[in-house]
Amino acid sequence: MRNTQMSKKKRRRENMWGMLFCLPCILGFLFFALLPMCTSLYYSFTDYNVISRCNFVGLDNYKNLFSGTDPYFSKALWVTIIYVALSVPSSLIVAFCIALLLNTEVKGKGIFRTIFYLPSIVPVVGMSAVWLWIFNSDFGLANMLLKAAGLPKCQWLSSESTVIPTLVFTNLWTVGSTMVIFLAGIQDVPRQLSEAVEIDGGGRMAKLLHVIIPMMTPTIFYNLVMGIINGFQVFTQAYVITQGGPNNASLFYVYYLYREAFQFMRMGSASAIAWVLFVIIMLLTVIMFKLQKKWVYYGGE
């Protein structure tokens, strides 16, 4: 009986200490995540502009977005969708190819892995400033190389038709973190499966198509989901390099949100824009999790 009471006291003490250790994370989530989300949800139904008193306007902010009253909403959404459709597949393919190359047995492979990973930890603002100089249409390095090769200059960031592909190209500079995840997934592929393909007479392409890629589908799925989520939230490149130009051709959704909130001080409208983005990302994530059953292979299943 005494041992039972002591064990109950010990369990209560352990639970109390566990709650105390979890308390900073819980409070951080409540005050820095949940409370701002609830506040922004309330403001999305008001005409809050920081300066004057906010008034409840119901669904007016959402009606303005979807009725075409605000023409920049559809423009920003369409530009962001195009960027995501181009940047996510290209990033996954480049990161996967680099991971395959770095998985081979070569001298100094640790150095090469470090070199390919380093750009992903460089501050995005500094990196964007460098790309702004490289793709300057007048004295940028890219046009200097084209001129040296006898090719015509390109407007890169100054043309509506080339600004998004240029920003997609600059995004490839940060595939290091995705590459590391792919590399870890490749090294986790059972060696006996590759050896079985070799015994059957299969080459590298057979191992890639029939062993590595099928076993890597959970990793590919994870990077795909994270790539889409991060792609819809791209901001710094537009803010530093193009500021939404030319002619709003690079007006990404989050930059449009920032402009509504901090340039035009329309906090109510900006909150509605943020919640529309939340719903879009949530729906896309749910759809991808539903579709993963058709192509993602888990070894335990």
- Residuewise pLDDT in 10s, the chain (301 residues): 556 666 777 788 888 888 899 999 999 999 999 999 999 999 999 999 888 888 999 999 999 999 888 889 999 999 999 999 999 999 999 999 999 988 887 777 788 888 888 888 888 888 888 999 999 888 889 999 999 999 899 999 999 999 999 999 999 988 999 999 999 999 888 888 888 888 878 788 888 888 889 999 999 999 999 999 999 999 988 899 999 888 999 999 999 999 999 999 999 999 999 999 999 999 999 999 999 988 998 865 5
How confident is the model at residue 110, as a pLDDT?
A: 81
What CA–CA distance (Å, rounded) separates 76 from 261?
15
Looking at the domain assignment, is residue 189 inside a domain?
A: yes
Residue 178 structure tokens: 């995705």
User: Is residue 241 situated within a structural domain?
Assistant: yes
**What does DSSP assign to residue 247?**
T
Residue type, 87: S
Query: Would 59 be classed as within a structural domain?
Result: no
| Domain total of the chain | 1
Q: In this structure, what is the dihedral angle of CA atoms 191, 195, 196, 197, given to the nearest 10 degrees?
A: 110
For the record, the structure tokens of 16 come out as: 């109390």
Asked if the structure places residue 243 within a domain, the reply is yes
249: CATH: 1.10.3720.10
Buried b (16+ CB within 10 A) or exposed e, 33-59: eeeeeeebeebbbbbbbeeeeeeebee
CB 228 within 8 A of CB 88: yes
CB 168 within 8 A of CB 86: yes
Do the domain assignments include residue 169? yes
Residue 74 forms part of a structural domain? yes
DSSP 3-state of 56: strand
Cα 13 to chain centroid distance, Å, stands at 42
Question: Would you say residue 211 lies in a domain?
Answer: yes
Cβ–Cβ < 8 Å for 166, 135: yes
Phi, psi torsion values for 46, nearest 5 degrees: -130, 175
How much is the pLDDT for 6?
65
What is the model's pTM? Answer: 0.90
The CA distances from residue 152 to 19, 139, 210, 287, in Å, are 65, 14, 44, 44
Domain-located, residue 54: no
Q: Residues 166, 140: contact at Cβ < 8 Å?
A: no
Range of the domain at 204: 69-294
